[in-house]
Structure 1
Amino acid sequence: MRRIWRPMLLAVLLLAAFAYLNNGGLTAPRLAGPPTLLAHRGIAQRFDMAGLTNDTCTAARMLPPRHAYLENTIASMRASFEAGADVVELDIHPTTDGRFAVFHDWTLDCRTDGRGITREHSMAELQRLDIGHGYTADGGRSFPFRGQGIGLMPALDEVLEVFPDRRFLINIKSDDAAEGERLAAWLGQLPPAARDRLMVYGGDRPIATLRAALRDLRTVSRGSLRACLLRYAAYGWTSLVPTACAKMLVLVPVNIAPWLWGWPGHFLQRMQSVGSHVFVIGPYHGGAFSTGIDTPEDLARLPAGYPGGILTNEIEVIAAALGLSRAVGGERR
């Protein structure tokens, strides 16, 4: 019996030693540079997050305004980049006249003075609406942005024209494969360098269609992220990166990150080697909504000198906490 167990024990010990050395800090690559900041929704009005559902009208539960910016507008995006964002997230809907409207909600009733499903309108109709119409912080007694958002809903092509050299994360709001086909056709007309500055996330069906049509585009969906991380958990200790992780936006909850093989240096380098970008998000507790890295306390949960991506709802707070700002011309200082 001892003759059988000794080789097995030795093999286990050797594998454990290999896994430790292959993923431990002693062999971790030294990655330099500041973190990449992704501003979720850009600079936007914040709202009470308690008890949110997919149908919650967040404009009706706005917190007292601290600034005049509305999400998904050119002004908000510009302010986000000026505050220190490297990437700004925006939401899109196809329109009846063949364009993509940049707007968060599935319907118009909550934020605007319009009615109905957003994608059942033309871009011309949408740009006549007041996107600040429904915002209130006091239960409807006052509407501080009413009348100030007329004509401020941009189209995706307008955003890329205004910011030709900036990076964006595009959110497809549906799980419709046809929408993936439509966006793939539109993005396929862009030069490869312009497409390389874009990432897309959304439902499993449109993202699968996009990945099949545009293999150079970084994408993620709930299903593709699960496939990537589960496979990496199974054999990432070997340094092999699952093909499911290639050309992805890899979103990692801050409470899950320390359990990933080789976190942070090895993990970041391995994902970079397959063309993927890693962004840490807020802690995951099994619910439908995930937060960002939004406070200095959240930042403190990251390793010292962390050089990867950070998704935040509070770009001004996080950029300031990291000592990052923008100089004239868009360079960090």
Structure 2
Amino acid sequence: MKKIKRILKSKFFLFAALLLVFFYVNNSSLFVKREAGAPYLLAHRGLAQTFTMENIANDTCTAERIYPPEHPYLENTIPSMEAAFQAGADSVELDIKPTKDGQFAVFHDWTLDCRTPAAGKTSDYTMAQLKELDIGYGYTPDHGKTYPFRGKGTGLMPSLGEVLKLFPDRSFLIHIKSNDAAEGKQLADFLSVRPKEQVERLTVYGGDEPIDALKAELPGIRVMSLATMKSCLIPYIAAGWTGYIPSACERTQLHIPEKIAPWLWGWPDKFLNRMDEANTRVIVVGGDGSDFSSGFDSPEDVKRLPSGYSGGIWTNRIDRIAPLYGK
């Protein structure tokens, strides 16, 4: 009996050891070759003014807390997008809000009060009226002592149509700034008449409801929401050690906080290769996920990434980051 127990015990430990070896080999990047190349650089709102993230909330007026300006560009404008692409961005993120006359303005805030001299929402104004506003009006680096962009932002709020017309061959990440399904349907109607090859270069993210509505109308478009992220990552975390890739991980985009990324099976190279096979783009953002606007904005930030990292990087300072990769 003792001999049988010893045999069973030894077989159990052998099985456990083999299972651990399988875990390691199947999820280690040490045995993975990944095509050499620079990371995919995503410029948040183009080349924009940056600000302190301390005690920031969804309704914080970030224009009132910018750092002393180092360049003349304002977020979500045509010049800022041009500068970002010229600096080496592979894609630019922009925010859209509906207007009174059925268009989409490229603008970040819930209301106009923070950046402009106007009040209310974009939906209270036509696109032509929004063009008359000075979007540089509210920017201050010194608590209201000076306003370096006041008087310089009139006419700079673009429509989404203008952006796509001026940059027909570029990649964009479009952010629907609400959880209104009607906005997803409106965007689907707008994109349905755009050239197919242009739409294929776009990714749209936002609230679950508008993203569901958009995807229902345009099944082929790349989208991301909290729901799509969960439907991909939760089953992957549960079974990804086997190499299993959930169908929800196919043709989507994943924004992975840097502090969570190391817990994903196969991180970094094997995980990135698996997502490549699923035609899914992986973008690493800064921090722990409490604020997805946090990015890699300095050479010191980039040092926190794995050596030789070649996935996507979210940055608020494309002018600083692109040169590090020869872009």
User: With structure 1 as the length reference, what TM-score do the two structures score?
Assistant: 0.92
Q: Shift of residue 39 of structure 1?
A: 0.4
Give SS of 2:141's match. Answer: coil
Is the Cα contact below 8 Å between 2:255 and 2:282 reproduced in 1?
A: yes
Letter in structure 2 aligned against 1:323: G
3-state secondary structure, aligned to 1:154: coil
Give the conservation status (yes or no) of the 8 Å contact 2:286–2:292.
Answer: no
The alpha carbon displacement at 1:187 in A equals: 1.6
Among 225, 250, 257, the alignment partner of 1:253 is: 257
The separation in 2 between residues aligned to 1:313 and 1:282, in whole angstroms, is: 11
- What is the distance in 1 between the residues matched to 2:48 and 2:291? 21
Q: Which of 238, 243, 246 is matched with 2:247 structurally?
A: 243
Structure 1 position 7, deviation (Å): 4.6
Secondary structure at the aligned position of 2:105 is classed as strand
Match of 1:275 among 252, 275, 279: 279
Q: CA distance change for structure 1 residues 5 and 188 in 2, over 3 Å: closer, same or farther?
A: farther
Amino acid in structure 2 at the alignment position of 1:293: F
- Structure 1 211/27 Cα, relative in aligned 2: closer, same or farther at 3 Å? farther
The CA deviation string for residues 42-80 of structure 1, in whole angstroms up to 9 with x for no partner, is: 111112221111111111222211111111110000001
For structure 1, list consecutive stretches of 5 or more residues without a partner in the other structure. Answer: 325-333
8 Å Cα contact 2:100/2:122 also seen in 1 = no
Q: In the alignment, what sits opposite 1:320?
A: 323
- Pick the aligned partner of 2:314 from 303, 308, 311: 311
Per the TM alignment, residue 322 of structure 1 is displaced from its structure 2 partner at its CA by: 2.5
Q: Is the 1:29–1:269 contact (alpha carbons within 8 Å) kept by the matching residues of 2?
A: no
Q: Can you give the 5+ residue segments of structure 2 that lack an aligned partner in the other structure?
A: none
Q: After the TM superposition, which of the residue ranges 33-42 and 219-228 deviates more from structure 2?
A: 219-228
Q: Taking structure 1 as reference, are residues 29 and 213 closer, same or farther at Cα in structure 2, changes over 3 Å only? A: farther
* Structure 1 residue 163 corresponds to structure 2 residue 176: no
CA distance in 2, matches of 1:279, 1:287: 16
Q: Per the alignment, in what secondary structure is the counterpart of residue 205 of structure 2?
A: strand
Counterpart check, 1:95 vs 2:99: yes
Other structure's SS at 2:185 match: helix
Partner of 2:157: 153
In the alignment, is residue 300 of structure 1 matched against residue 300 of structure 2?
A: no
Offset from partner CA, 1:196-244 (integer Å, 9 cap, x none): 1111111111112223332222211123213322211111111111122
Asked if 2 retains the 8 angstrom alpha-carbon contact of 1:73 and 1:152, the reply is yes
- For residues 294 and 66 of structure 1, the distance between their equivalents in structure 2, rounded to whole angstroms, comes to 13
8 Å Cα contact 2:283-2:314 kept in structure 1: yes
Report if aligned partners of 1:40, 1:89 keep a CA contact under 8 Å in 2: yes
* Matched pairs, number: 323
Residue of structure 2 in register with 1:208 after alignment:
212
Secondary structure at 1:178 match in 2 = helix
| Aligned CA distance change for structure 1 residues 16 and 85 (closer, same or farther; 3 Å) | same
Residue 188 (str. 1) matches residue 179 (str. 2): no
Aligned to 1:37, the other structure's residue is in SS state strand
* Corresponding residue SS for 2:301: helix
1:49 maps onto 2:53 in alignment: yes
Provide the C-alpha distance between the structure 2 equivalents of 1:121 and 1:273, rounded to a whole number of angstroms: 44
Verify the 8 A CA contact 1:169 1:198 in the aligned structure 2: yes
How many angstroms does 1:26 deviate by?
A: 4.2
1:73 aligns with 2:81: no
Structure 2 counterpart of 1:31: 35
SS where residue 109 of structure 2 aligns? coil
Residues 138-168 of structure 1: CA distance to partner in whole angstroms, max 9, x if unpaired? Answer: 2222221111111110000100111111111
Task: Name which of structure 1's ranges 75-84 and 205-214 shifts more when overlaid on structure 2.
Answer: 205-214
TM superposition score normalised by structure 2: 0.93
